[in-house]
Structure 1
């Protein structure tokens, strides 16, 4: 069984079963174990002087650990590779989290805020309904790249070592890749490495989204919006999703009690976003997944 065939099975397995809650209530999820590795490095290296050099060592350690662990696990054969890949893909769970926000908003603003707080790091306590919906859609677009397309891309390119290396780097970025006093220097290398490994997958995600959303003709405008985004990669899927749904995304939001006036993505789009828009976003995510799956099938047949 080649890598493309294993990836095809892993994508289908993840889409059908998602995250088995009964299993992760008994044993730690791999993402939790990766987080513990990042915490261990943070605790032992992020102190004293030369923090940027120590951060480079931490980033290299995460990359090396992912590659080594992936290689060792791949020795157990295709079944193990497919199973681990399916666990580390997040299509079904991503859509389930978004549906939970839409369902929460349909009941009350408080429930919508509580649901979106599970998937975003920004302040949610004073969000309006449109802000809750916008946050969910932005998270869905960005995580389609980080949680589905990028892991699949690196698995296809470099097998299980590539997938685990990517997940280690991405987990590290989510924990220490911040531009605050604690992590500005120590997390710099991990954040830049994460930017690098997401460079192609983010743009591929945007192409797939724009295709299924019927807005590929707007690619120059999508690129312009992406360039205004605070992230060199997240802006691409967000810009594509915004135009696919006719919405404005990004814009002002609060982190740790401080308001940040980020630029709007697709500023001419609708800003009065409601719960049904989240469900339309989920439709686009599944259509994006299906298009990617179809391209993978074609790749497998041809090559």
Structure 2
């Protein structure tokens, strides 16, 4: 019941500016913790071991915070609020839709909007590349920001959700193969891969099932393996045939064009703002199916 209410609360309120202008968002607090450990521990010798120690401290802190919140006798209201905050469906859709609105205004506005949600180079993107980047971000973040937190809540309650979020935050900050972070961020990146392994595949299943498109399921693993990420390819490989699009493909990072393979290579490559809108609608359909599953499982657990 708590998770069901949290999903509904997130869908209703999203990320209210009035709240986060007054209080630090939990994800911001987690980010500060990651940055602090990076500054203090990422130096000298044995950086991989130091990175392992850092992620263990972050996991322990997140689990303790989750246990503390669930122990407060308030009928679960605080737990519902925290779970809703740690979900990101409404804000995901809002950010992706903002790219569609900007792209309809001009390519320049579209590039500015999409630069806020992707890590690739955006300066020279054309309209199709802008739309494709937004859709890929939508698919990946449906897994990372929605299905994975739901999955870990169902496995280990609010502590499990908070542990997942701090690991995912750490991966987004230090889990890169750069001279500074390749060793120190190794543990964060590998643990994030492990914790996202099942949610990524469940996300693909939820996307296909919510669109009556399970006949595409047999092709998803092959397309997912073409993606550079062991997990992100799964939701992209599911969303691509639903929309009839080719996703992934060549893109630029740090000024260098990289020839990544296409996912659903036979799909349409001339993406536009209408395709972004269609992707947002697909996210809501997947969310709706996830809500039904969570509610039914919650009811079964309550009656058992």
TM class by shorter-chain length? Answer: over 0.9
Post-superposition shift, 1:170?
0.3
Post-superposition shift, 1:228?
1.5
Post-superposition shift, 1:212?
2.1
Post-superposition shift, 1:136?
0.3
- The answer to whether the 8 Å contact 1:213/1:245 transfers is no
| Partner Cα separation in structure 2 for residue 180 and residue 245 of structure 1 | 35
DSSP-derived class of the 1:185 partner:
coil
Post-superposition shift, 1:271?
0.6
Cα deviation 1:159-183 (Å, max 9, x = unaligned)? 1111110100000000001112111
Aligned residue among 121, 124, 130 for 2:128: 130
Cα deviation 1:65-95 (Å, max 9, x = unaligned)? 1111111121124111000001111111111
Query: What's 1:195 paired with?
Result: 193
| Partner Cα separation in structure 2 for residue 57 and residue 270 of structure 1 | 46
| Partner Cα separation in structure 1 for residue 218 and residue 57 of structure 2 | 38
Aligned length: 299
Query: What's 1:97 paired with?
Result: 95
Query: What's 1:68 paired with?
Result: 64
| Partner Cα separation in structure 2 for residue 121 and residue 72 of structure 1 | 35
Post-superposition shift, 1:301?
2.6
Aligned residue among 246, 252, 269 for 1:248: 246
Query: What's 1:229 paired with?
Result: 227
| Partner Cα separation in structure 1 for residue 218 and residue 181 of structure 2 | 34
| Partner Cα separation in structure 1 for residue 80 and residue 276 of structure 2 | 30
Cα deviation 1:107-163 (Å, max 9, x = unaligned)? 000110111111111111111101100000000000001101111111121111111
DSSP-derived class of the 2:149 partner:
helix
- Aligned Cα root-mean-square deviation (Å): 1.0
Higher mean C-alpha displacement, 67-76 vs 271-280: 67-76
Query: What's 1:173 paired with?
Result: 171
Query: What's 1:16 paired with?
Result: 12
Query: What's 1:29 paired with?
Result: 25
| Partner Cα separation in structure 2 for residue 184 and residue 215 of structure 1 | 39
Post-superposition shift, 1:59?
1.5
Post-superposition shift, 1:97?
0.6
TM-score, structure 2 length as denominator? 0.96
| Partner Cα separation in structure 1 for residue 234 and residue 228 of structure 2 | 11
| Partner Cα separation in structure 1 for residue 169 and residue 67 of structure 2 | 19
| Partner Cα separation in structure 2 for residue 55 and residue 213 of structure 1 | 41
DSSP-derived class of the 1:214 partner:
coil
DSSP-derived class of the 1:254 partner:
strand
Unpaired segments of 5 or more residues in structure 1? none
- 2:278 counterpart of 1:280: yes
Cα deviation 1:218-243 (Å, max 9, x = unaligned)? 21211101112111111100110111
Aligned residue among 39, 44, 51 for 1:43: 39
| Partner Cα separation in structure 2 for residue 125 and residue 149 of structure 1 | 31
Cα deviation 1:266-296 (Å, max 9, x = unaligned)? 1111110000000000010000000011111
Cα deviation 1:193-246 (Å, max 9, x = unaligned)? 000111111111100001123332121211101112111111100110111101
- 2:77 counterpart of 1:82: no
Query: What's 2:140 paired with?
Result: 142
Post-superposition shift, 1:184?
1.0
Higher mean C-alpha displacement, 134-143 vs 63-72: 63-72
